Amino acid sequence: MNEPLRLLTGNAALQVFVSSLLGFAMLIPRQPWAKRLAPHFDQKALLSVHLDWLMLAFMQWGAVLVMTQWPGAARPWVAWLLVLGGWLNVLPYWCRAFRIDAFVLAGRPAQVLAAAVSGLSATGLVVAWGRLVWELLG
């Protein structure tokens, strides 16, 4: 297996594992013995992180499929953009759990930084998938 395929396959598996751990951890505040923890967690934001990591992992496995069928698409830089996006694209949801709106590029410095990183992450995903689609159509 070439390096971009190995990187994407392994990273996607790691993201599914981390998302599974987060899903398990999200159950703890719902237990009768841990109800006092519930007010400290934004369950909706954590659910968004959990689901986004899963979707981004499946996106990476989709890229592996494309790269397997069209070997010219297996570029290391494309794989790295997908990996970085796979971890950073959940940032707005993580930040929402701490009352930072990383969907808006304005406000406090922490919000601007989070929104900028999030925007770069999303841009990287679009560029990577644009390259994959270019290879498919080319």
pLDDT digits (tens, 9 = 90+) for 83-116: 999 999 999 999 988 888 999 999 999 999 999 9
pLDDT digits (tens, 9 = 90+) for 12-55: 999 999 999 999 888 888 888 888 877 777 888 889 999 999 99
What are the E-state strand segments in the chain? Answer: none
Identify the band that residue 1 occupies on the pLDDT scale cut at 50, 70 and 90: low
Residue type present at position 71:
P
Cα–Cα distance for residue pair 15/21, rounded to 1 Å? 10
Q: Are 95 and 138 in contact (CB under 8 A)?
A: no
Q: For residue 5, give both structure tokens.
A: 């395929």
Angle made by CA atoms 51, 132, 15, in degrees to the nearest 5: 25
Rounded CA Rg of the chain: 17
